[in-house]
Structure 1
Amino acid sequence: MVQGFRITGTGQLLELAARLRRAGHENIRQSYTRRIRRAAEPLQRDLQDKIRHLEISSPGRGGGKRGGASPTTRPLRATIADAIRISVRTTGNPGARVWVDKGRLPPDLRRMPDVINSGRIRHPVFGNRRRWATQTATPLWWDRTIRAHTDRITREVSRVADDVRRRLE
């Protein structure tokens, strides 16, 4: 299941959120938010790039089978890539979140990020629910991409938190 990636609730971020509220320095808060967003942007871009270039393959049609153009002109991978979002919070549960905004996907594609991440895509052939096709993709593309960025983002957020803490002192 594709989960949003979050760097939240760490002791440093909770302490900083409280200190920022007490200090009331709006420009420090904006800088903090902007720098945390900047730390998460490479992950967002990498996730978008991975889904746009993810290979989805199928065993192909057997001899004599009919085929044709897709009944939709909507590009699946680009549609999912455009729905990958970042949000940053400085209050409540502070931190950054990268997720697939399913509200930005058409209703028939809302489960597709989870399905593609599983590596096995099963769907009706051209909408015919009596004929089904199975396609494969690289499994866990979302999870692996996040794992590759976790250490970098954690270091960057820690650095930002230390800088803000020094400015508040």
Structure 2
Amino acid sequence: MASVRVIGTGQLLELSTRLRRAGHENIRQSFHRRLRRAAEPLRDDLQDTIRGLAITSQGRGSGRRGGPSPTTRPLRASIAAAIRISVRTGGSPGAKVWLDKARLPDDIPVGLVNRINDGRVRHPVFGNRRRWAQQNATPLWWDKTVRAHQPRITREVERVVDDVRRRLE
């Protein structure tokens, strides 16, 4: 999955060091809060995208029986709930939007999310490893969403860094 990379992370490191030396707690909190706010629209859009993602299958052949889902949790809602933001203003400052493995239910492997992003998911039918099904999704949903937000996040982080630098001088 793609990630947003802001050029000039050396500026963030230098600014983080200056913030620690200056000891301005309210400026550091503001810096942290504004970095989080810059990443929140991306997280929200990723959650909306996975919730609305169409996952299709080939359907059952004639004479094949169906059955209830072995899980009670909706797949897409579970993945959306696991998308998180973490912000660091210390050693390696920045904001990261990521999929928290610990928030995924035990029966949803992390590799499944990567395969959904690839656009093709093969899985055993109701856990029966002798019968497999393939489902298709819109490929690169995570990557496309991140790319769409990258220019806005870059501008916002540059603005935050400039504002904090002016307040420290």
Is 1:111 equivalent to 2:103 in the alignment?
no
> TM-score, normalising length from structure 2?
0.95
Percent identity (aligned): 73
Whether contact under 8 Å (1:57, 1:135) holds in the other structure is: yes
Q: What does the per-residue CA deviation read over 1:13-65, in whole Å, with 9 as the maximum and x for residues that have no partner?
A: 11111110110100000000000100000000000000001000001111111
Q: Distance in 1 between matches of 2:15 and 2:128?
A: 55
- Give the residue type in structure 1 aligned to 2:160: V
Is 1:126 equivalent to 2:123 in the alignment?
no
Q: Distance in 2 between matches of 1:21 and 1:57?
A: 51
Q: What does the per-residue CA deviation read over 1:70-107, in whole Å, with 9 as the maximum and x for residues that have no partner?
A: 12111100000000000111111100000000111123
Q: Distance in 1 between matches of 2:161 and 2:3?
A: 22
In the alignment, what sits opposite 1:80? 79
In the alignment, what sits opposite 2:140? 140
Moved more, 2-11 or 24-33: 2-11
> TM-score, normalising length from structure 1?
0.95
Q: Distance in 2 between matches of 1:22 and 1:57?
A: 55
CA shift, 1:11, in A, is 2.1
Show the 5 A alignment for 1:28-67. 28-67=27-66
5+ residue gaps, structure 2 = none
Q: Distance in 2 between matches of 1:9 and 1:99?
A: 21
- Give the residue type in structure 1 aligned to 2:83: I
Q: Distance in 2 between matches of 1:5 and 1:98?
A: 9
5+ residue gaps, structure 1 = none
Whether contact under 8 Å (1:8, 1:96) holds in the other structure is: no
In the alignment, what sits opposite 2:152? 152
Is 1:92 equivalent to 2:61 in the alignment?
no
SS of residue in 2 equivalent to 1:111: helix
- Give the residue type in structure 2 aligned to 1:94: P
Q: Distance in 2 between matches of 1:158 and 1:7?
A: 9
RMSD: 1.4
In the alignment, what sits opposite 2:17? 18
SS of residue in 1 equivalent to 2:53: coil
